[in-house]
Amino acid sequence: MKKIFNLSALILMLSLVACAPSEVDDLFDESPAERLDNAVKNYTELLKADGGRWLMQYFANPDMEGINFIMTFHNDGSVDISTQNAYVNDGAFYSDRSLWQVVSDYGPVLSFNTYNRAFHVFSSPQSDGSGYEGDYEFIILSATDNQINLRAKKSRDKGTVIDVVMTRLNSTEYPTDEEYFTSLNAVSKAAFSDRINNYVLTTGSGKRYICNDVTTMIWSFYPEDGTLLDNGDYMNAIITTKGIRFMQPLEFLPEYDANDVAAQNFEFQADGSLLCTDDGVTKITGPALADLFHQPQLGWMLSSKEGESGGDFVTIYNQIVTEAKAKYKTTFNWLQLGYDAAKAKYRLYFKNGKYNGSIYVDHEILDANTIKFSFNPDAEGAFDNNGKNHYNNLESMRAMVALICNGEYTLTSENMMVSNPMTMTSKSNPSNFVVLSF
């Protein structure tokens, strides 16, 4: 059974271990000061127990992304605080040692009472006179063996509720603090892409919200049938190796119930999506794969690597390389599919030595994961100059356009969040496939 440390639970715990009714009476003879003193001692021991190593998910204010700290509490009253973020040491890993104490104030309070260069930058005044307005003292709300729930003291006094969570950190999985932050950086890069717009949050009732600015951890939300300007919300969040946590519950969701379930904590799933652990239903994924083709900042490179294309894609691509060498005395570099928003068309974009060219094709999105291309070489604006030249002079280039425009293609990806790479496979002939990446 997990040990629960808070003032009311402490009284209950002590009463349960009492051996006789007279001892129960003795418990209630303790003064509030004595009970508070016992709670302070219990929390102090909890922080130091089992190596004393904790991950703190810290928020300085409601307008700033969360910051991860690893804190190791020592018996001599010192604490090592490590971090890696844009505000400390120019973004490089950094660790510093200072002092800590659990004190009696608003109940038990965890205080970092000497300056720590990794931590106090968020609570100290900066050149603007106020700085980040963060806290260095935290009211201890409750705790188990492996989690401590805190509330920022100074922020609370100003009327802002900032809850901070500390979880015991597995020293076997991350032997050093720096290894944790190296892993966190890798997770963060794999989890989201700042080149993708319109992530999607779906609630249990099927209500969908568009999410943007996700890599900044200052997420924007608006209903799929609305706009950010008219009915949008911003929520700050923190990322860990396990998932993300918003500073506050997502109160704008229709299922929000402050007394029951409120979406706030999300964990990464095997497919890259984020599942809410509070309600077990709300989910965050990337855009539909076909919609990704409509994002003009993405250019999808057709892979020519062994095993990443098959059937006619392999044969025709190799023919383009050979033909381009013979005709233009150049080395063919790459083929790319991308969306040109100005023309509202996809283009087969290529680089052949010093030549860049575009061949414009029409498209139809049949469903979230199915797309169909077509091409009319006689249509106005079907080529740029180099595109027309290569189309007319290279039989293999004409064959590649015909292949891409031959029926429907299914889009698949193992990662529902970033979807890079994805695979485009012919519905009529699945042996014809190619991996696309941006």
Please report, for the domain that includes residue 86, its CATH number: 2.40.128
The rounded distance, in Å, linking the Cα atoms of 348 and 401 is 8
Q: Taking the CA atoms of 28, 30, 32 and 35 in sequence, report the sign of the dihedral they define.
A: negative
Angle at 216 between CA 211 and CA 220, to 5 degrees: 30
State the burial class of residue 17 (Cβ atoms within 10 Å of its Cβ: 0-12, 13-18, 19+). exposed
Residue 185 belongs to some domain of the structure: no
pLDDT value at residue 167? 97
Cβ(92)–Cβ(75) under 8 Å? no
The residue among 110, 134, 109, 108 whose CA lies nearest residue 121 is 134
Number of domains composing the chain = 3
In this structure, are 300 and 376 located in the same domain?
A: yes
Residue 178 belongs to some domain of the structure: no
The residue among 31, 1, 28 whose CA lies nearest residue 12 is 28
In this structure, are 163 and 38 located in the same domain?
A: yes
| Domain end point (choices 261, 286, 311) | 286
In this structure, are 27 and 163 located in the same domain?
A: yes
| Domain end point (choices 286, 309, 334) | 286
Residue 72 belongs to some domain of the structure: yes
The rounded distance, in Å, linking the Cα atoms of 285 and 123 is 35
Residue 356 belongs to some domain of the structure: yes
CA distances from 43 to 187, 197, 207 (A): 32, 44, 42
In this structure, are 279 and 365 located in the same domain?
A: no
- The backbone torsions φ and ψ at residue 390, rounded to the nearest 5 degrees and listed phi first, read -70, -35
pLDDT value at residue 98? 98
In the sheet that holds 101-105, the strands lie side by side as: 94-99, 78-83, 67-73, 53-58, 163-168, 147-152, 137-143, 107-111, 101-105
pLDDT value at residue 245? 98
The rounded distance, in Å, linking the Cα atoms of 254 and 95 is 42
Helix (H) or strand (E) holding 364: strand 355-367
The residue among 143, 123, 145 whose CA lies nearest residue 61 is 123
pTM here is: 0.85
Strand, coil or helix: 334: strand
Residue 246 belongs to some domain of the structure: yes
| Domain end point (choices 266, 286, 306) | 286
Cβ(247)–Cβ(168) under 8 Å? no
CA distances from 186 to 57, 180, 181 (A): 18, 10, 9
The rounded distance, in Å, linking the Cα atoms of 192 and 247 is 19
Residue 187 belongs to some domain of the structure: no
Q: What is the CATH number of the domain that holds 353?
A: 2.40.128.230
pLDDT value at residue 340? 87
Strand, coil or helix: 16: helix
Expressed in angstroms, the distance from the first to the final Cα of the chain is: 49
Residue 277 belongs to some domain of the structure: yes
Domain, as residue range, for 360: 292-437
In this structure, are 133 and 208 located in the same domain?
A: no
In this structure, are 58 and 116 located in the same domain?
A: yes
pLDDT value at residue 343? 85
The rounded distance, in Å, linking the Cα atoms of 126 and 423 is 49
* pLDDT (tens place) for every residue of the chain, 438 residues total: 333 344 444 433 433 333 334 444 454 567 888 889 999 999 999 999 999 999 999 999 999 999 999 999 999 999 999 999 999 999 999 999 999 999 998 799 999 999 999 999 999 987 666 789 999 999 999 999 999 999 999 998 888 999 999 999 988 889 999 999 999 999 999 999 999 999 999 999 999 999 999 999 999 999 999 999 988 999 999 999 999 999 999 999 988 887 777 899 999 999 999 999 999 999 999 999 998 887 888 899 999 999 999 999 999 999 999 999 999 999 999 999 998 888 888 899 999 999 999 999 998 999 999 999 999 999 999 999 999 999 999 999 999 999 999 999 999 999 999 999 999 999 999 999 999 999
pLDDT value at residue 171? 84
State the CB neighbour count (10 A cutoff) for residue 419.
Answer: 25
The rounded distance, in Å, linking the Cα atoms of 434 and 300 is 11
Largest CA distance in the chain: 102
